[in-house]
Structure 1
Amino acid sequence: MFKLLGGLPRSRFSSAKLRFQSQPSCISKIWFGPLPKDSNWVKPGRLHYIEDEVEKQTDIIKTIDGVVVLLYNKSRKKLILVKQFRAAVYHGIYSAGSLDMSKGEADLDKFPPGIGFTLELCGGAVDKDKTLEEIAKEEALEECGYEVSTESLQHVFDYRSGIGTTSNAMTMYYCEVCDDQKVSEGGGVETEKIQVLEMSLEESRKMIETGTKTNGGPSTLLGLLWFFLYKAPQVST
């Protein structure tokens, strides 16, 4: 259904790297453990408050804010998304029906790693001393291999994610790119293993049809809905 960008010929980077990028991620073992107190990404806590003279409390999780970018390649008339393994998604499916955190090694025969792969907009955490536009520009390059300017990023939404527990701030941008801006294979940095996918408008529209199921987060569906409401009529002509 989806076409990997790794198979596209580019004059600005090697075909060998492109072939490498097209290789699927291979996960051979999964196991669960307790959250360390020094986690750099998640901080659990409890908030107390008085409402209408009634004392209440809510368990919350502090996470880092993020940015996402919906990329549209106007040279190819394709939307650019990313596919990657998300541990939280895997555990959510693995432990469905239970509030307990799983322990020990996962049964990969019963719960193969594939259930934890998501289809998303490119994006990342706001964990640098830079503007949101600068971080969005970096993510487009690191994950998808497109060199974009901050001026070309169109601000779409500011919203909250996981308002029942985390409520981290999210900012969405839209950016149109062309083949000449594809300067690397993307795929993420350091230990990230990200596959870059391009989707036709027909394929993308199917993702937001009533009754469709997806492992992608709300940002993906929100971005696609916005695109087909405001952009698709112009870019498809």
Structure 2
Amino acid sequence: MLKLLDSLGRSCCSSAKSGFKIQPSCISRIWFGPMPKDSNWIKPGRLHYIENDVEKQVDIIKTIDGVVVVLYNKAREKLIFVRQFRGAVYQGIHSAGSPDMSKGEADLEQFPPEVGVTLELCGGAVDKDKSLAEIAKEEVLEECGYEVPTESLQHVYDYRSGIGTSSSAMSLFYCEVCDAQKVSAGGGIGEEKIQVLEMSLEESRQLVQTGATTNGGPSCLLGLLWFFLHKAPKVSA
């Protein structure tokens, strides 16, 4: 995994291509604690139901729905990704093999922050009273720095993520961009620390080859598979 992250770090950044610079994140301490009851993002609960006269229950989590965008610079044949630290991924790796949630201070020598850095498609939460296309447009600008019209966002399909626990609704979009639409470095807003990363089609294909390993979520793989099936330039035999 660390080799994968290191190789991604050496890949071409779109921000550097356009003269913009994004300061890398530097995480100096990680620790675990209980989830507050007033969380704005996650609401845990238990659902009860009767099936074939047998009462059953399942623990569930209410999460916010999201949008995801396959972003493709057609002129240079580059797919655009984002990298960021994800605490849930870090916790999953840190507590692997244990049924319990990690607690206390994390040993950064044994578990460096880089293991929690993901490779993802541009996307974000549906937390505004706007259309899905408008939210996707904002995420493209905020995370990747491209100003695109909503008309250029092709709605691909809707699906659900984490159906065993959260089942949040996800909407996948596809958008083609050019260098002229690059108006900022991107990198997120507020306290977000997001790195914009460009990958060639060949590098991107390796992410979905049999036996590949990635630190991203299924939305990234799903979007890439759709892209290579429907949009990628055909490779001559």
* TM score, norm. by length of structure 1: 0.93
Structure 1 residue 205 and structure 2 residue 183: aligned? Answer: no
Q: Deviations over 1:86-142 (max 9, x none)?
A: 000000000001121111110000000000000000100000000000000000000
The question of whether the paired residues in 2 share the 8 Å contact of 1:154 and 1:173 is answered with yes
Distance in 1 separating the partners of 2:138 and 2:32: 31
Report what 2:4 is aligned to. Answer: none
TM alignment of 1:1-237, pairs within 5 A = 1=7, 2-9=11-18, 15=19, 18-19=20-21, 21=22, 23-233=23-233
Distance in 2 separating the partners of 1:7 and 1:41: 33
How much has 1:235 moved relative to structure 2? Answer: 10
Distance in 1 separating the partners of 2:137 and 2:104: 39
Q: Which amino acid aligns with 1:82?
A: V
Q: Deviations over 1:185-226 (max 9, x none)?
A: 000000000000001000000000100000010000001100
Distance in 2 separating the partners of 1:198 and 1:235: 20
> In structure 2, do the counterparts of structure 1 residues 116 and 130 end up closer, same or farther at CA, with 3 Å as the change threshold?
same
The question of whether the paired residues in 2 share the 8 Å contact of 1:74 and 1:235 is answered with no
Distance in 2 separating the partners of 1:173 and 1:39: 28
Q: Which amino acid aligns with 1:51?
A: E
Percent pairwise identity: 75
CA RMSD across the alignment? 1.3
Distance in 1 separating the partners of 2:30 and 2:144: 27
How much has 1:75 moved relative to structure 2? Answer: 2.0
Q: Deviations over 1:27-80 (max 9, x none)?
A: 110000100000000000000001111110000000000001010001211000
Instruction: Tell me the number of residue pairs that the alignment of Structure 1 and Structure 2 aligns.
Output: 227
Report what 2:3 is aligned to. Answer: none
Q: Deviations over 1:134-155 (max 9, x none)?
A: 0000000000000111111111
Report what 1:12 is aligned to. Answer: none
Structure 2 gaps of 5+ residues are: 1-6
Distance in 1 separating the partners of 2:83 and 2:176: 20
SS of equivalent to 2:127: coil
Distance in 1 separating the partners of 2:179 and 2:233: 21
How much has 1:7 moved relative to structure 2? Answer: 1.2
Q: Which amino acid aligns with 1:41?
A: W
Q: Which amino acid aligns with 2:217?
A: G
